[in-house]
Amino acid sequence: MRAPKARRSGHETGRAMAANRVVAGPDTVHWGYLSADLAPVGRVANGGRVTITTVSGPPEVVAGSPFPAAPELIAIHEQVAKRTIPGHICTGPVEVEGARAGEVLQVDIEDIVLDSDWGYAGVRPLAGALPHDFHDRHMTYVEIDRQRRVARLPWDMELPLRPFFGVMGTAPPASWGEISTIPPRRNGGNMDNRELVAGSTVFLPVFVDGALFSAGDGHGAQGDGEICTQAVETCLSGTLRLTRRTDMRLDWPLAETPSHIITMAFDPDLDDCVVIAVRKMIDLLEAHCGLARVEAYTLLSFAGDLRVTQVVNGWKGIHLMLGKEFFRGKTLRA
């Protein structure tokens, strides 16, 4: 591994919401939990853009790192007292003006920027896809070349980077109380879907007025499954456009990329995830393309790709991808 470089960041510490920019800091993050009771740290007009910066890494990760930590991450460690451990450091929530419970939040991911010169991933006993195979904790630190968008791995390989936010979600229903950020649920959250890069759109059910959108868990790169429990965990900055959709109703997150429509489902049982994701795609084909359900079911066997999103967060994930050519030129985006 090459010698650490000084970190270059435009981040600030503390509370910040200027020119629709929410900067990660002690007053703008919540650590490890989502809740309808969280007060918004920023507000955007319907259809407005917001740039959100996120940080990753608990104190033990920073303590063992050969790279310098971001000042805002250190400030968060020192000043944020309420933590649900383990869990993600999320920036937000951001209120969307006029959004109402029962609607849908359209999140257009316009840009995602690598905001750190390093990343990490950890292996620990009783976790991941092979919980009984590895008996000791092991940390891997990687140097990130932001200009080339690659990570230099300590075993003399380079990994192309394709950054995305592992966590993007609206506030859960008030009746759920405070919930951990780790399992993904109907409000999104820790979806860990590697397809949600810049240029993609995610649609999230809104359970409380204002939507209260949060993001975190920056990933430089991840394979489907997130096998050892972590991606290339790092700091990111993203520009998002947040739009309320009064013409849609969803009970599970949905996504659109330049090439695909994607249904998603989360459950402790992968088989149940498959059933939900397939049924939701059939619903879309029936509603938007006029196909009979049996025709849509058959088409998915011909052209749909079922993928394992992740298997490491308690609630597992499946996403079903279908090429947009089968939607006859239709788009779900506003």
Looking at the predicted structure, is the pLDDT value of residue 234 above 60? yes
Same domain flag for 259 and 290 = yes
Looking at the predicted structure, is the pLDDT value of residue 167 above 50? yes
User: What pLDDT does 19 receive?
Assistant: 56
Cβ atoms < 10 Å from Cβ of 83 = 15
Average pLDDT over residues 319-328: 97
Looking at the predicted structure, is the pLDDT value of residue 16 above 50? no
User: Furthest-apart CA pair in the chain: how many Å?
Assistant: 60
What is the DSSP secondary-structure string of 160-206? E---EEEEEEPPPPGGG-SEESSS-BTTEEE---TT-STT-EEEEE-
In a domain, residue 7? The reply is: no
pLDDT tens digits, 91-108: 999 999 999 999 999 999
Range of the domain at 198: 21-245
In a domain, residue 238? The reply is: yes
Q: Which residue has the tokens 């938007």?
A: 288
In this structure, are residues 117 and 7 in contact, taking their beta carbons and an 8 Å threshold?
yes
Q: Residues with Cβ < 8 Å from 10, sequence gap 6 or more?
A: none
Higher pLDDT, 10 or 172: 172
Same domain flag for 40 and 117 = yes
Same domain flag for 179 and 314 = no
Tell me how many domains the chain contains: 2
- Classify each residue of 166-205 as buried b or exposed e, where b means 16 or more C-beta atoms within 10 Å of its C-beta: bbbbbbbbeeeeebbbbbbbbbbbbbbbbbbebebbbbbb
Same domain flag for 96 and 41 = yes
Cα 34 to Cα 50: distance, rounded to the nearest angstrom: 20
In a domain, residue 185? The reply is: yes
**Domain final residue pick, 245, 271, 294:** 245
In a domain, residue 158? The reply is: yes
Helix axes 270-289, 293-303, angle to 10 degrees: 120
User: What would the two tokens of residue 323 be?
Assistant: 């090429």
Same domain flag for 177 and 268 = no
pLDDT-based confidence at residue 8 (cuts at 50, 70, 90): very low
Same domain flag for 190 and 65 = yes
Same domain flag for 217 and 97 = yes
At 211, which CATH number? 2.60.120.580
Looking at the predicted structure, is the pLDDT value of residue 76 above 70? yes
Looking at the predicted structure, is the pLDDT value of residue 179 above 80? yes
In a domain, residue 282? The reply is: yes
Looking at the predicted structure, is the pLDDT value of residue 9 above 90? no
Q: Tell me what the pLDDT averaged over the chain comes to.
A: 94
Same domain flag for 60 and 89 = yes
Same domain flag for 238 and 114 = yes
Same domain flag for 61 and 146 = yes
Looking at the predicted structure, is the pLDDT value of residue 38 above 50? yes
In a domain, residue 309? The reply is: yes
pLDDT tens digits, 285-301: 999 999 999 999 999 99
User: What pLDDT does 25 receive?
Assistant: 98
User: What pLDDT does 14 receive?
Assistant: 34
Same domain flag for 174 and 54 = yes
pLDDT-based confidence at residue 329 (cuts at 50, 70, 90): confident
Same domain flag for 102 and 241 = yes
**Domain final residue pick, 245, 269, 299:** 245
